[in-house]
Amino acid sequence: MPASAGTTRSRRSSGSPPRPALAGARPPAPAPIWRRSLRPHDRWPPPVASLGRQAEYAHPGAAKPDTLSFRSMDNLTHAPDEREVDRHRRSIKAIDHELLRLLNRRSEHAQQIGLLKLRAGLAILQPLREQRILDQLKQLNPGPLRPAQVEQIWGEIFSASRSLQQAAPIAFLGPSGTYSEDAVIRFFGDAALRIGCATLDDVFDAVASGAAPSAVVPFENSAHGCVADTLDLLARTGLPASGEVVLPIVHCLLSHARDLSAVDCVLGHAQALAQCRNWLDRHLPGVERRAVSSNAAAVKAASESATHAALAGERAGQLYGIAVLHRAIQDQPSNRTRFLIIGDAPRVEASNGKTLIRAEIEHHAGSLARLLAPLQAHGVSVEFLETRPLGNGVWTYCFYLELAGFPHEAPVAAALAEMTRRASAFAVLGSYARSTACVAPAAPLPTDPAKERAQ
């Protein structure tokens, strides 16, 4: 029965056409997101939340891609829009081409600077200037790159520039894969050419003969003290100490074995075996421990066996294709080794440095106190003190001291002048900027040896 005139229906029949929208009327708003019921696949995983925070703290003046929103997050678990992915990839490709062009322009200027340095007799390596550039870049950095990432990227740019300016290699105590080579990479960058030497004498000979302008040698370990041979060779050759780098020592157990029960021998340098003694006693009691010439030699031997393990850094395992069975097994988590750079000295432009000296004194009461008195009088701190036999008699010694400050600073210069007059023999072995590039050692991580071997 049709409805009478003047009456209205409470519900439109399913077959009737929809009413036209009134002019200017707004479409109904969707329900707020907090009122929607989330399905299991709509729940946001932690990476999405971190992406949201990253977008939120982006620098306001930086150009950004489409920002993440609550509404767009619902789609992140589905297949990406290929057109959008292609659009971003085309942008990245164009940026890469521009980066390559600019990096080559930068390299051309670096080469010209290298020629000017050689003509003026200046050192190629200028670590203090590089640090100033890094500090400025980190202040200007708008993100999302972190400051450490900026430092890593530009560190490699500096390394490539130095390699273009001077292609001479850096000598180190080899073979490849030792912590000494890690120190070369830390100080000079991965692009630096490197010569591995069998002994410390060979390292110093490489610099003395001109085969390498610089070398990196171990100087002091936080657990086992100074390297006496380095002190003796510094005095014997007269090569200047021109820099230092502090390297965290993170010993790893490297092996092709499936687990610890399959290991029947542990190879390593004598010092590495000593630094991991407690861990080895707890986890590999009764297993043979064999000292070899270097940690790299241990890794090479272990890589050729299914049951041997080696103590070395993780990079050595990567070089020889052997998996990490356990990380950071050293007894002292803060274990560090200090390395000296010998040979060409970079120009000193700051006051935060050190001076290494060697002194001999007469053998009578009070002579050592008399030698050291000027340091107290001028307020110069002693940061390292070591004695070494002279070799020209029984129970005769010389003294090595590392002082805080550079020789051209007034307090240090005055103290050195007085100490020279009070010593029977006196020499400044070098001065260098204090090392600040030391990262914390890696914490032990759970490992899956089978997965690492597959990788």
Answer yes or no: do 309 and 361 share one domain. Answer: no
Query: CA 240 to CA 412: how far, in whole Å?
Result: 18
Is the CB of residue 292 less than 8 Å from the CB of residue 267?
yes
Length of the chain: 455
Say if residue 380 is in the same domain as residue 424: yes
Exposure string of 312-328, with b = 16+ CB inside 10 Å and e = fewer, is bbbbbbebbebbbbbbb
- Kindly state whether residue 40 falls inside one of the protein's structural domains: no
Whether residues 309 and 356 share a domain: the answer is no
Domain end among 309, 334, 359: 334
The answer to whether residue 367 is domain-embedded is: yes
Domain span at residue 364?
347-437
For the chain, the domain total comes to: 3
Q: Which of 300, 334, 368 is the last residue of a domain?
A: 334
Within-domain flag for 219:
no
From first to last of its 455 residues, what are the pLDDT tens digits of the chain? 444 444 444 444 444 455 554 444 455 555 444 444 444 444 444 443 333 333 333 444 444 444 444 444 455 556 778 888 999 999 999 999 999 999 988 888 887 777 566 556 677 777 788 888 889 999 999 989 999 899 889 888 988 887 777 657 889 998 889 999 999 988 887 877 889 998 999 999 999 998 888 899 999 999 889 999 999 999 999 999 999 999 999 999 999 999 999 999 999 999 899 999 999 999 999 999 999 988 899 999 999 999 999 999 999 999 999 999 999 999 998 999 999 999 875 454 556 899 999 999 988 888 999 999 999 999 999 999 999 988 776 678 899 999 999 999 999 999 999 999 999 999 999 999 888 654 333 333 334 444 444 44
Query: Which CATH number does the domain housing residue 148 bear?
Result: 1.20.59.10
Residue 293 forms part of a structural domain: yes
Helices (H), 141-194: 147-165, 179-188
In a domain, 308, yes or no: yes
Domain membership flag for residue 69: no
CA distance 188 to 170: 9
Supply the pTM of this predicted model: 0.62
302 and 358, same domain (yes or no): no
Give the CATH number of the domain where residue 321 resides: 3.40.190.10
Query: Looking at residue 416, which CATH number applies to its domain?
Result: 3.30.70.260
Q: How many CB atoms lie within 10 A of CB 418?
A: 16
57 closest CA partner among 137, 139, 144, 140: 144
Last residue of a domain, one of 282, 300, 334: 334
Tokens of 222: 């936080």
Q: Are residues 366 and 414 in the same domain?
A: yes
Asked whether residue 204 is domain-assigned, the answer is no
Whether 303 and 370 share a structural domain: no
Residue 261 inside a domain? The answer is yes
